[in-house]
């Protein structure tokens, strides 16, 4: 075997006697088992292959930099730790679990009490903790290490099941030595067997001669985390019986043959190896992106590439630029440069919502297919990371082609080329959703990931297997989009994640159109490792928190000094005239009637779904059913996706849309219109909202030129105008409607109204000039010293008190389960995840940990016919292959077909927040569970098990928890009290 740097004879050749009877794994169904020495050897060999062929260069460098002999030492250490990770199974507490295997060990002289006789004490010695203690003792007693010196290495063994042990657990086990070695005559034999295994691994993997040098090493905590993660990955692979069969094997083979066959069966794609592009920015963008004819690189894009190339060490780059300036393309170009210079093996693109994640995924794939080497026959692992990713047609196709982890094939040639998914010849460069890289814990390990921000924030949450999430981001360039969209609660997690990313040296690109200066400084300080230094913070960052230039680039390397770049504007601009509008439906209807008399398309954005529906009903009376479109979050998943596609077809950019409505048309939407949709309207009406969000909404107004001087728009709509409503403007201090206050808080709304006063009040009001007014307005609304209009002081002070109380509460609650700061080098990770949340994943409960929202109630929707039969709802569109999903019959006595079950799962619906009140939620869940279809709750029902099913009658209505629910394809869900 070749696992420690040179050819070895194998671990088995170094062992003899009772040690060979120690077992590691057992198959209760078929009686197979695996000796501990074999699993140790398998795990070490896999770790060597993971190191050589799968880990990104940036991860290997980080570990290597901490050790005296660099890369050679790093590889030895990873292999050795993977080899010894299960030494805790050579203990009575573990070995007693399977009677027949325990009897084999007793026959070899390793006495132990039965599992029953050990009683509850056995739980004090889980084999990870036991292994950490045994390895620590061995390093201390045999090699003269101190407790702390040993702990920083042994913690990778203790934490390989997801949570490093806490100090109290270690102390408790110290008083129960009989769990590690029996208290009878065979105690010394147990000690000898444990020592033999550790000695054999140390000799086999070339570590013996390195221990003296390593004793002086102070391992940084990020390195401890990465080594733990490598051990976990190696253990999971080596524990897969399809790849590593249990004894007795059908065909005996050497360890080298066994590992080679398993690695072929696993067939993991290698990490990306980026080459730094040498062409100028114009040619770089032309080769990577599908630019419109005649388009040229924007100044902010040019500057972003220049800054990335000029940074001595890739680090954090914040790009602040207007909507539509190509920030996404700039981020990907910078990611390519950063990856080449840092050794990152992929990209993680974090977005605020599932919708934005879905929209980004095909753009990421397009970019990947244009990268150098895309046609070299290599493969790249990709993933869409959110809870409903499997319902995304593009990603589902990739998963279907991803195959499975194959059982070992001893006869396959060791250098067999990868074949096409359809079996037809060698594959060119492929994008694959690899089978092994699926599941909630492994998915983000894929090289290229587009996902929701939650997936990144989970890296700041004390949860089981957090080391894997850190490994996933430590080897990538991370892009964070819409950085302004996260509240104080989420920012606690984001700042902590950034501090760890800085410690790993992970390059990060942050994108925003409307970022407050204080938030810019906080992000920069968190990444550079200086948050909160001194009463006034680190003075090197003072300019970052004061700069008001726009566009603006802010760059800093870990531990470095920030650099600001102020690129020129692209020259694209729009003047938007603001006007206050009374919050009255009759006033709105009459005004839109006059504005759209000559045709045109208006967007009305409301802050609550209830206001969306009320407005749409009134406007349909005036304009007709077909002239009003509704878009909000309370649509079925498939309907919402279809709504977005329809809006893009009718109101998208000129080169993509299929035709705007001939007559007047009004789209009434909630906040779903703020992000991800490249839509363009002639007139905007918006409820008052925080100023950054209002600017985002204004970005949908005259977004694209329609003829010279906008001549293709109706004459009265060639000037961009936004009517601001949702407020009683007649009061001394503007009074926002209750629904808006519930969503955003009074303080943010009043600060927004104050910042907008010069543009809203008086005959001399001036238009908002985009983009030049974006930064001044945002800084005015979020700065620490507000400009308080006369007579507003008392109202603002009262609102500020509530705001501060709420923000402090958010920060305190978020910190409860938030990951601590990076500790001093050499400090073991004991207790790293103490008082954590346990398991966490992309479920409503998991997302609620990193978002300040009550857990929302999600259901899947079906229809019950008058004859009692269940069907999918009758308006579902065909799937991506043209297969009909509407009105499919759903059996209640068995699991539906996979196709029908997936159609039901795609009919997911998030109920409004009124169903999140504890008493309402409890009642709703109880009622839904009473109607549960038992046959759908089995493990064979992959799509439907665990889902709450909401049944609509033939009129698409039902009752739930004291409310009447009505659903229509045009309106979405409406809820009224029964």
Q: Which of 90, 474, 565, 27 is nearest to 244 (CA)?
A: 27
Helix axes 691-698, 746-760, angle to 10 degrees: 60
Name the phi and psi angles at 923, rounded to 5. -65, -40
- CA 407, 413, 417, 420 dihedral sign is negative
**Whole-angstrom Cα distance, residue 652 to residue 658?**
8
563 sits in which H/E element: strand 563-565
pLDDT for 414 equals 39
pLDDT for 896 equals 92
Question: For residue 89, how far is the Cα from the chain centroid?
Answer: 34
**Whole-angstrom Cα distance, residue 210 to residue 814?**
43
Q: Is the pLDDT of residue 402 over 50?
A: yes
CATH code, residues 574-770: 3.40.50.300
| Average pLDDT over the chain, rounded to an integer | 89
Q: Is the pLDDT of residue 418 over 80?
A: no
Residue range 292-299: mean pLDDT, rounded? 83
Name the pairing type of β-strands 379-385 and 347-351: unpaired
Residue range 654-677: mean pLDDT, rounded? 84
Name the pairing type of β-strands 683-687 and 601-605: parallel
Q: Is the pLDDT of residue 656 over 90?
A: no
179 against 786, higher pLDDT: 179
∠ at Cα 273 (66, 358), nearest 5°? 110
| 165-207: pLDDT as tens digits | 999 999 999 889 899 998 888 999 999 999 999 999 999 999 9
Query: For 719-782, what is the HEC assignment?
Result: CEEEEEECEECCCCCCEECHHHHHHHCHHHHHHHHHHHHHHHCCCCCCCEEECCCHHHHHHHHH
* Spatial contact of 832 and 222, defined as CB atoms under 8 Å apart: no
**Whole-angstrom Cα distance, residue 507 to residue 335?**
8
Name the phi and psi angles at 860, rounded to 5. -110, 145
Confidence of residue 69 (pLDDT cuts 50, 70, 90): very high
| 223-253: pLDDT as tens digits | 999 999 999 999 999 999 989 999 886 666 7
List the chain domain ranges.
12-264, 281-403+431-532+541-565, 574-770, 854-977
pLDDT for 562 equals 95
CATH code, residues 281-403+431-532+541-565: 3.40.50.300
Domains 281-403+431-532+541-565 and 574-770 fall in the same CATH topology: yes
Q: Which of 820, 778, 591, 565 is nearest to 689 (CA)?
A: 778
pLDDT for 500 equals 96
| CA-atom Rg of the chain in angstroms | 31
Confidence of residue 550 (pLDDT cuts 50, 70, 90): very high
Residue range 545-571: mean pLDDT, rounded? 91
Strand partners, 686: 605, 724
- CA 66, 70, 71, 74 dihedral sign is negative
**Whole-angstrom Cα distance, residue 845 to residue 463?**
13
Task: Return the DSSP state at 271.
Answer: P
∠ at Cα 871 (868, 875), nearest 5°? 130
Strand partners, 594: none
- The strands making up 972-977's β-sheet, listed across from edge to edge, are 957-960, 963-968, 972-977
pLDDT for 855 equals 59
Task: Give the chain's length.
Answer: 978
Residues 6+ apart with CB under 8 A from 43: 82, 83, 85, 86, 231, 234, 235, 238
Q: Specify the residue for token string 């042990």.
A: 165
pTM passes above 0.85 = yes
* Spatial contact of 551 and 495, defined as CB atoms under 8 Å apart: no
Q: Is the pLDDT of residue 406 over 60?
A: no
Name the pairing type of β-strands 601-605 and 665-669: parallel
889 sits in which H/E element: strand 889-890
pLDDT for 449 equals 93
| 95-143: pLDDT as tens digits | 999 999 999 999 999 999 999 999 999 999 999 999 999 999 999 999 9
Give the rounded percent of residues in the chain with a pLDDT score beyond 90.
65
* Spatial contact of 112 and 187, defined as CB atoms under 8 Å apart: no
Helix axes 127-143, 167-174, angle to 10 degrees: 70
CATH class of 12-264: mainly alpha
> What are all long-range contacts of 738-744, with beta carbons under 8 Å and residues at least 24 apart?
739/607, 739/608, 739/610, 739/611, 740/607, 740/608, 740/687, 740/688, 740/689, 742/608, 743/607, 743/608, 744/607, 744/689, 744/690
Whether residue 551 is preceded by a cis peptide bond, meaning omega within 30 degrees of 0, is yes
Greatest CA span in the chain, whole angstroms? 99
Q: Is the pLDDT of residue 407 over 60?
A: no
Confidence of residue 374 (pLDDT cuts 50, 70, 90): low
């Amino acid at each position: 075997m070749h696992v420690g740097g040179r050819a070895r004879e194998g671990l088995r050749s170094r062992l003899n006697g009772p040690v060979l009877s120690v077992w590691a794994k057992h198959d209760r169904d078929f009686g197979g088992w695996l000796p501990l020495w074999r699993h140790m050897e398998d795990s070490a060999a896999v770790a060597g292959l993971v190191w050589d062929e799968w880990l990104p260069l940036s991860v290997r460098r980080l570990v290597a930099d901490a050790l005296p002999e660099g890369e050679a030492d790093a590889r030895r250490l990873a292999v050795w730790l993977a080899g010894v990770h299960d030494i805790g199974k050579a203990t009575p507490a573990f070995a007693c679990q399977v009677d027949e295997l325990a009897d084999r060990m007793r026959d070899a002289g390793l006495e132990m009490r039965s599992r029953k006789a050990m009683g509850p004490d056995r739980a004090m010695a889980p084999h990870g903790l036991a292994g950490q203690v045994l390895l620590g003792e061995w390093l201390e007693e045999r090699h003269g290490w101190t407790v702390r010196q040993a702990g920083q290495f042994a913690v990778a063994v203790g934490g390989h099941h997801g949570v490093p042990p806490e100090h109290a657990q270690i102390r408790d086990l110290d008083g129960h030595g009989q769990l590690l070695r029996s208290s009878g005559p065979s105690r010394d034999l147990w000690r000898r067997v444990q020592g033999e295994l550790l000695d054999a691994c140390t000799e086999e993997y070339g570590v013996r001669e390195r221990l003296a040098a390593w004793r002086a090493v102070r391992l940084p905590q990020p390195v401890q985390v990465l080594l733990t993660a490598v051990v976990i990955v190696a253990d999971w692979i080596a524990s897969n019986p399809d790849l590593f069969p249990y004894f007795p094997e059908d065909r005996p083979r050497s360890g080298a043959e066994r590992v080679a066959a398993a690695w072929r069966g696993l067939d993991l794609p290698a990490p990306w190896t980026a080459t730094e592009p040498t062409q100028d920015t114009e040619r770089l963008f032309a080769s990577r992106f599908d630019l419109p004819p005649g388009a040229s690189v924007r100044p902010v894009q040019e500057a972003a590439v220049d800054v990335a190339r000029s940074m001595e060490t890739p680090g954090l780059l914040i790009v602040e630029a207007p909507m539509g300036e190509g920030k996404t393309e700039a981020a990907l170009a910078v990611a390519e440069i950063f990856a080449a210079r840092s050794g990152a093996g992929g990209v993680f693109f974090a977005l605020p919502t599932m919708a934005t994640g879905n929209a980004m995924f095909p753009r990421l794939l397009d970019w990947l297919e244009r990268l150098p080497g895309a046609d070299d026959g290599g493969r790249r692992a990709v993933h869409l990371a959110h809870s409903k990713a499997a319902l995304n047609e593009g990603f589902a196709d990739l998963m279907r082609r991803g195959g499975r982890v194959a059982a070992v094939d001893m006869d396959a040639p060791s250098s067999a080329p990868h074949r096409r998914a359809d079996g037809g010849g060698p594959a060119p460069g492929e994008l694959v959703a690899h089978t092994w890289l699926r599941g909630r814990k492994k998915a983000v390990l894929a090289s290229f990931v587009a996902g929701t921000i939650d997936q990144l924030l989970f890296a700041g949450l004390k949860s089981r297997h957090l080391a894997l999430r850190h490994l996933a981001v430590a080897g990538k360039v991370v892009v964070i989009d819409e950085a302004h969209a996260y509240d104080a609660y989420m920012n606690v997690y984001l700042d902590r994640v950034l501090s760890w990313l800085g410690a790993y040296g992970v390059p990060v690109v942050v994108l925003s159109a409307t970022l407050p200066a204080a938030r810019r400084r906080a992000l920069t300080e968190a990444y550079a490792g200086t948050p909160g230094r001194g009463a006034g913070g680190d003075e090197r960052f003072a300019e970052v928190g004061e700069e008001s230039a726009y566009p603006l680039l802010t760059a800093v390397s870990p531990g470095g000094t920030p650099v600001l770049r102020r690129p020129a504007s692209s020259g694209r601009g729009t003047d938007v005239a603001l006007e206050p509008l009374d919050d009255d439906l009759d006033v709105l209807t009459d005004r839109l009637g006059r504005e759209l008399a000559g045709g045109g398309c208006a967007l009305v954005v409301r802050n609550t779904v209830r206001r969306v529906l009320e407005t749409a009903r009134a406007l349909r009376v005036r304009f007709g059913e077909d002239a009003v479109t509704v878009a909000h979050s309370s649509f079925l998943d498939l309907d919402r996706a279809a709504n977005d596609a329809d809006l893009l077809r009718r109101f998208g950019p000129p080169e993509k849309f299929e035709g705007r409505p001939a007559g007047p048309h009004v789209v009434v939407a909630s906040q779903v219109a703020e992000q991800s949709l490249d839509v363009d309207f002639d007139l905007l009406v918006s409820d008052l909202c925080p100023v950054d969000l209002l600017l985002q909404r204004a970005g949908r107004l005259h977004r694209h030129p329609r003829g010279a001087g906008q001549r293709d728009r109706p004459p009265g709509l060639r000037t961009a105008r936004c009517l601001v409503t949702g407020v009683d403007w007649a009061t001394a201090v503007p009074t926002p409607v209750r629904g808006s206050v519930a969503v955003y808080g009074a303080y943010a709304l009043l600060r927004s109204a104050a910042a907008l006063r010069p543009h809203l009040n008086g005959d001399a009001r001036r238009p908002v000039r985009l983009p030049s007014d974006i930064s001044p307005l945002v800084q005015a609304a979020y700065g620490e010293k507000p400009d308080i209009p006369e007579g507003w002081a008392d109202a603002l002070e009262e609102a500020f008190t509530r705001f501060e109380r709420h923000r402090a509460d958010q920060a305190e609650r978020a910190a409860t389960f938030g990951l601590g700061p990076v500790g001093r080098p050499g400090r073991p990770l004991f207790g790293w995840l103490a008082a954590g949340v346990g398991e966490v994943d992309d479920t409503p409960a998991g997302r609620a940990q990193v978002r300040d929202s009550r857990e929302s109630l999600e259901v899947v929707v079906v229809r019950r016919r008058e004859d009692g039969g269940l069907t999918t709802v009758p308006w579902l569109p065909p799937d991506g292959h043209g297969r009909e999903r509407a009105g499919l019959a759903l059996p209640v006595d068995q699991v539906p077909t996979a196709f029908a079950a997936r159609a039901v799962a795609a009919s997911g619906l998030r109920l409004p927040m009124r169903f999140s009140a504890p008493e309402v939620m409890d009642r709703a869940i109880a009622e839904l569970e009473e109607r549960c279809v038992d046959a759908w709750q089995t493990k064979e029902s992959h799509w439907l098990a665990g889902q709450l099913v909401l049944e609509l009658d033939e009129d698409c209505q039902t009752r739930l928890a004291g409310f009447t629910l009505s659903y229509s394809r045009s309106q979405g869900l409406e809820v009224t009290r029964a």
